[in-house]
Structure 1
Amino acid sequence: MDGMESRSKTVVVTGFGPFGEHEVNSSWVAVQELEKLGLGDDINLKVFEVPVEYQAVQMLIPELLETHKPQVIVHVGVSGMASTVTIEKCGHNAGYIRMDNCNFCPGMYCCVEEGPEYLHSIIDIDAVCKGASSACPEVQFTVSTDAGRYLCDFIYYTSLHQSRGKSMFIHVPPLGKPYTAAQLGQALQAILTVILDLLEYSEDH
């Protein structure tokens, strides 16, 4: 039974599929690298590739939360402007005017009608950035408050809303600009390790 109990913590991590100029989306590559590394024997890591589609996100997030009941759900996306691994502090509800891979955008240009303007993670993002920087010094980590009003921001807000804040979003640069797939996987592992330590500490105190 002890072995069963030690496997009880589940973490869900998503990356996005191809879109626009990102024929290979480094976010999904990084998540696959994380899957190879794992998060230790006592964490059940589940990874999913998400299409760059608003409606797919709206259907998938509640399904993932209901099916897996994760301790935390972490989303990863690519930013062509990023040169660091960027941890996002909040998701925004409105401003989604950019068409997705299906040439669709939300009718009210928002995630949740009459929802709050933005939602924050319950996780201490600054502490995560500091801890990950110490654990993985070859990668530069930064914090941001603007996830970009496209699918990255959309999935983050949707996830924060559905999970009551037990969610986080990470932007990674395109592959080779400057980090390898392996380095991005190590960066995600460092971030997840810090998140799990913080959540465990908060549960114990």
Structure 2
Amino acid sequence: TDNRKNEHLSPFGEHAVNASWVAVQELEKLGLGHEINLHVAEVPVEYQAVQSLLPSLWKQQLPQLVVHVGVSGMATTVTLEQCGHNQGYMRLDNCSFCPESRCCMEGGPDCIQSVIDMDAVCKRVNSSGLGVSVSVSKDAGRYLCDYTYYMSLFLGEGRSAFVHVPPLGKPYSAEQLAQALRAIILEMLELMEHNKGKKHCLHDQ
């Protein structure tokens, strides 16, 4: 599981605490059960750092699934992102850098879908009585969250997910967010196991 810092105002904007990182740290305490190895890493809000860090993460950890988590000041629910986008990256990162090409991967597909059906995950978690509202989005924002997600989807052939969480207390606590992340990730892994062997179309035509 990887973490994105607040992408809207750097590094944490108007929020004193980065809700996504705090929630992921709480998730690390909870764990995903004895049979699932959870590796947690914090990713800088920098295009070039993402370009160098993600390939090594995928290569070294050989994960079944990578779940990125970021905080969105606009979110009021825990939001599952279905896809990552290649173009439209015009905002400067925390190093005042922006890709000259305005894209994540030159020549890559415009959009890559996760192999995970986020609508199915959303329905399952919302019907579980968890007390945290979950929704689905198809636009991760064309900044570092979207950029990271696209690259991870490319590297992992779709075996990635991105979850946006609202700021702490708006309305959920770190513990509630961690419980939601745990439930979401377990549902994702179960769906992946169920769909093992099935072919997925990762790239939008």
TM-score (normalizing by structure 2): 0.90
Q: CA deviation at 1:20?
A: 4.8
Listed one character per residue, the Cα deviations across residues 36-75 of structure 1 (whole Å, up to 9, x for unaligned) are 1100000010000111111111111111110010000000
Q: Is 2:5 the counterpart of 1:17?
A: yes
After TM superposition, the runs of 4+ consecutive aligned structure 1 residues lying more than 6 A away are none
Retained in 2: the 8 A contact 1:16–1:25? no
2:144 corresponds in structure 1 to 151
CA distance in 2, matches of 1:157, 1:23: 28
Query: Are the equivalent residues in 1 in contact too, given 2:12–2:18 (CA < 8 A)?
Result: no
- Once the two structures are TM-superposed, the CA of residue 187 in structure 1 deviates from its matched residue by 0.5
2:43 is the alignment partner of 1:55 = no
Distance 1:70 1:136 in 2: 29
The aligned residue for residue 46 of structure 1 is 39
> Higher mean Cα deviation, 134-143 or 188-197?
134-143
Q: Are positions 1:190 and 2:178 aligned together? A: no
More helix by share: 1
Secondary structure (helix, strand or coil) at the match of 1:96 reads coil
1:136-186 per-residue CA deviation (whole Å, 9 max, x = no partner) reads: 531000000110001110000010011100000000001111100000000
TM alignment of 1:93-108, pairs within 5 A: 93-108=86-101
User: Do residues 164 (structure 1) and 164 (structure 2) align?
Assistant: no
Please give the alpha-carbon distance, in whole angstroms, between the structure 2 residues aligned to 1:192 and 1:71: 11
Residue ranges of structure 1 left out of the alignment (5+ in a row)? 1-12
Task: Within 5 Å, give how 1:118-133 maps onto structure 2.
Answer: 118-133=111-126
- For the residue of structure 2 that corresponds to 1:105, the secondary structure is coil
Separation of aligned partners in 2, 1:179 and 1:99: 30
1:35 paired with 2:23, answer no
Residue 136 and residue 45 in structure 1: after superposition, are their counterparts in 2 closer, same or farther (change >3 A)? farther
The 2-side partners of 1:73 and 1:49 are apart by 13
Judge conservation of contact 2:130–2:180 (CA < 8 Å) in 1: no
- The residue type paired with residue 54 of structure 2 is I
* Residue identity in the other structure for 2:172: Y
Superposition pairs for residues 56-135 of structure 1, below 5 Å?
56-135=49-128
Gaps of 5+ in 2: 199-205
Q: Would you say how many aligned residue pairs link Structure 1 and Structure 2?
A: 193
For the aligned residue pairs, the C-alpha RMSD in angstroms reads 1.3
- CA distance in 1: counterparts of 2:150 and 2:160, whole angstroms: 9
Does the C-alpha gap of structure 1 residues 54 and 23 become closer, same or farther in structure 2, counting only changes over 3 Å? farther
* Cα distance in structure 1, aligned partners of 2:60 and 2:12: 31
Measured after TM superposition, the shift of residue 87 of structure 1 is: 0.2
For residues 97-129 of structure 1, the C-alpha deviation after alignment (integer angstroms, 9 at most, x for no partner) is 101100001110110001111110011111111
Aligned partners of 1:51, 1:87: CA distance in 2, in Å? 21
Find the residue that maps to 2:155 and give its secondary structure: helix
Pick from 166, 190, 203: which aligns with 1:173?
A: 166
